[in-house]
Each structure stands twice: as structure tokens, then as C-alpha cells.
């Protein structure tokens, strides 16, 4: 009798437990895997020697000679240990930059040792990269400013890299949208953290809903592009996400003007990973009053809380 009662109790417990086992949804699991794969690739790109986590300095050039090196007697003092007192000089003439290496210091340009060379900036798409030891630097142009962006593979932010974190993946944040195209070529002024404004082409206005409330975003893109770029802000900024906003890339619309905005793929601006990045900011019309609890969360640099 007791044996039968024990068996019955075990069966009841097993049945109760079996009803709590979640039903596997192959579609949801496949979607989550897509986002996790995207997130892994995203972290792989961040954890590269030429990525944002190695960014260690931003220096604006003055017309004429700009001496660079580890010594305090330079115009541009590169941070780090055991850096030669003088690495060389950068000469700015108009908007052209020429580099001359200091005697006895071996500097490479695009992997070849050089004593002097003219330098292409990042506006060319592929800037010339100078290097010494763990340091690399190249010319950037932002508005009327011309400067040097310095990277260091010994930067603690790179050495102590930890993967970014995501909000829980929720397919409800994968939202259909319709593009209201502009009749003529239209640009929107995008302001960066330095206050510089640059016009960027937009194909129109994306309309969608969040919890039944109409919303809109202005994407950036040219005719024929396969993807649109979105700079957006929302009510999580400064709380669980970066204060200035996030980025998002979505497919361009199809022949019917339809696309999908997947907020689970929202990701951090470069400014999250370095104080020396020059990030574009969301235009006012792209700051939503709803909390987008999807995509990458804020990221804390080494030594920050």
C-alpha cells in the first residue's frame, strides 16, 4: 500500500514538473541565434587592434610644425610608457599634412619604414597610418579641423576588454515599418559631439508603431543603398544605455516601401568606448520618448564606474 502511494506521489511530481518545461519554439530560437551571432561578431570587431578600444588620443594640428612624441616639450604629447621623447614632426600647410621622422627613430608608414611622407586623411577612405611600437596614428578631418587620431594596443580599455551586454532578446522589438519617401533629394543636418554639422542624405521618413503608438525615424542613405543607417535616442539613454543615443542599421525598403526595424540590433556609438571619438548625434526628430529596452546596453570603460 505504502509502495503504491509512493509511486503515485512520484508520478504526480513528474507530471507537475513536466508541465513547467517550456515549449521550444524553433522560429524564436532561430531568431535569437541570429541576434546572438550578430552580437558575437559585433564584439569580435570591437576587440581588434585597430578598433575603438585602442583609441588613446585626439590632437588638433596648428598650421606649421607640430612636434610629436612622449616628451612634454612636444606640441602633441603622446601618452604611454617608454615612448621616445621625439617621434617626429607633422607639418600642416593649408589642409595638407606632411610627416618627418626624428633622427634615429624608426617609423613605419603602411608597414614600410619612412623618414618623411605626405599623408592622406580619413576623408580619402583609407588614411595613411604611421606606427611606432604599440602606437599608430593617422590624420582625420572634422569640419575645418585637421587632427591626429592616436591608437595604442596597450590601452587598458583594449587590454581589459569585456564583451558588451544585450537586453533580453525579444522578437516584439522587430517592428515592420513603411517609408514615406521625399519627392526630391533631401538632406538632414547631422551634428557631431564637436558641434560640427554635416549634411547627410535621407530617403524619407520611416513610420511604425510601438505598442499601438505611431512613431517615426529619419534614416540616412542614398538611392540604391541596400541598408539604411539610423542614429536614434530613446528614454533609456543615460539610464541603461549611452546618454547620447545608439546606432542601428536596417535593410532598405522593398519595392512596396516596406522594411523591418530590429531594435535588438541597436548598438553603441564609438564615444561609449573612447572619449576621443567624434560621434554624430541623433537629429531631434530621431529622439523617441519611449524606452527601447533592446540591443546593446551602456558600456563602462576600464577604471570607470
Higher pLDDT, 143 or 201: 201
What are the tens digits of pLDDT across the range 275-290? Answer: 999 999 999 999 999 9
For residue 268, pLDDT over 60 is answered with: yes
What are the tens digits of pLDDT across the range 179-194? Answer: 999 988 899 999 999 8
Contact 280, 190 (CB under 8 A): yes
Region 117-144 average pLDDT: 93
**What's the confidence (pLDDT) of residue 300?**
87
3-state SS, residue 76: strand
- Which H or E run contains 99? strand 96-101
What are the tens digits of pLDDT across the range 3-62? Answer: 343 333 333 333 333 323 233 355 558 999 999 999 999 999 999 999 999 999 999 999
State the burial class of residue 211 (Cβ atoms within 10 Å of its Cβ: 0-12, 13-18, 19+). Answer: exposed
Residue percentage of the chain with pLDDT more than 70: 90
**118-122, 156-160, 206-210, 299-303: which range is least confident on average?**
299-303
Cα(110)–Cα(47) distance, integer angstroms: 21
What are the tens digits of pLDDT across the range 191-211? Answer: 999 899 999 999 999 999 999
Higher pLDDT, 9 or 85: 85
Question: Which residue ranges make up each domain of the chain?
Answer: 52-159, 162-286
pTM of the model: 0.83
**What's the confidence (pLDDT) of residue 28?**
58
**What's the confidence (pLDDT) of residue 124?**
83
Which residues lie closer than 8 Å to 155 by C-beta, 6 or more apart? 53, 54, 55, 56
Of 228, 237, 212, give the one whose Cα is nearest residue 289.
Answer: 237
**What's the confidence (pLDDT) of residue 81?**
86
Cα(204)–Cα(193) distance, integer angstroms: 25
**What's the confidence (pLDDT) of residue 121?**
94
For residue 73, pLDDT over 60 is answered with: yes
**What's the confidence (pLDDT) of residue 301?**
81
Higher pLDDT, 27 or 178: 178
State the burial class of residue 174 (Cβ atoms within 10 Å of its Cβ: 0-12, 13-18, 19+). Answer: middle
**What's the confidence (pLDDT) of residue 271?**
94
Q: What is the CATH number of domain 52-159?
A: 2.60.200.20
**What's the confidence (pLDDT) of residue 302?**
62
**What's the confidence (pLDDT) of residue 58?**
96
Which residues lie closer than 8 Å to 175 by C-beta, 6 or more apart? 208, 209, 210, 260, 261, 262, 263
For residue 102, pLDDT over 90 is answered with: yes
Higher pLDDT, 2 or 48: 48
**What's the confidence (pLDDT) of residue 18?**
30
What are the tens digits of pLDDT across the range 242-266? Answer: 999 999 999 999 999 999 999 999 9
Please state, rounded to an integer, the average pLDDT across all residues of the chain.
Answer: 89
Amino acid at each position: 500500500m505504502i509502495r503504491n502511494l509512493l509511486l503515485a506521489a512520484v508520478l504526480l511530481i513528474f507530471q507537475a514538473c513536466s508541465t513547467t518545461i517550456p515549449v521550444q519554439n524553433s522560429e524564436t530560437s532561430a531568431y535569437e541565434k541570429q541576434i546572438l551571432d550578430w552580437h558575437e561578431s559585433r564584439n569580435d570587431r570591437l576587440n581588434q587592434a585597430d578598433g575603438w578600444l585602442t583609441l588613446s588620443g585626439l590632437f588638433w594640428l596648428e598650421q606649421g610644425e607640430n612636434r610629436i612624441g612622449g616628451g612634454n616639450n612636444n606640441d602633441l604629447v603622446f601618452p604611454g610608457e617608454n615612448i621616445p621623447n621625439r617621434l617626429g614632426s607633422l607639418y600642416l600647410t593649408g589642409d595638407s599634412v606632411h610627416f618627418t621622422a626624428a633622427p634615429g627613430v624608426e617609423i613605419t608608414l603602411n608597414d614600410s619604414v619612412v623618414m618623411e611622407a605626405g599623408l592622406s586623411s580619413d576623408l580619402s577612405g583609407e588614411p595613411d597610418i604611421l606606427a611606432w611600437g604599440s602606437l599608430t596614428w593617422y590624420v582625420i578631418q572634422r569640419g575645418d579641423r585637421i587632427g591626429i587620431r592616436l591608437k595604442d594596443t596597450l590601452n587598458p580599455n583594449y587590454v581589459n576588454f569585456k564583451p558588451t551586454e544585450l537586453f533580453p532578446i525579444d522578437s516584439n522589438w522587430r517592428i515592420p515599418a513603411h517609408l514615406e519617401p521625399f519627392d526630391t533629394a533631401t538632406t538632414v543636418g547631422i551634428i557631431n559631439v564637436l558641434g560640427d554639422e554635416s549634411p547627410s542624405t535621407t530617403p524619407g521618413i520611416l513610420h511604425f508603431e510601438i505598442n499601438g503608438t505611431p512613431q517615426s525615424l529619419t534614416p540616412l542613405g542614398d538611392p540604391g543603398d541596400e541598408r539604411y543607417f539610423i542614429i536614434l535616442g530613446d528614454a533609456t539613454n543615460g539610464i541603461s544605455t549611452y546618454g547620447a543615443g545608439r546606432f542601428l542599421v536596417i535593410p532598405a525598403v522593398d519595392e512596396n516601401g516596406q522594411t523591418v526595424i530590429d531594435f535588438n540590433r541597436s548598438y553603441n556609438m564609438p564615444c561609449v568606448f573612447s572619449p576621443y571619438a567624434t560621434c554624430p548625434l541623433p537629429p531631434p526628430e530621431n529622439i523617441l520618448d519611449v524606452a527601447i529596452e533592446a540591443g546593446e546596453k551602456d558600456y563602462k570603460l576600464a577604471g570607470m564606474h
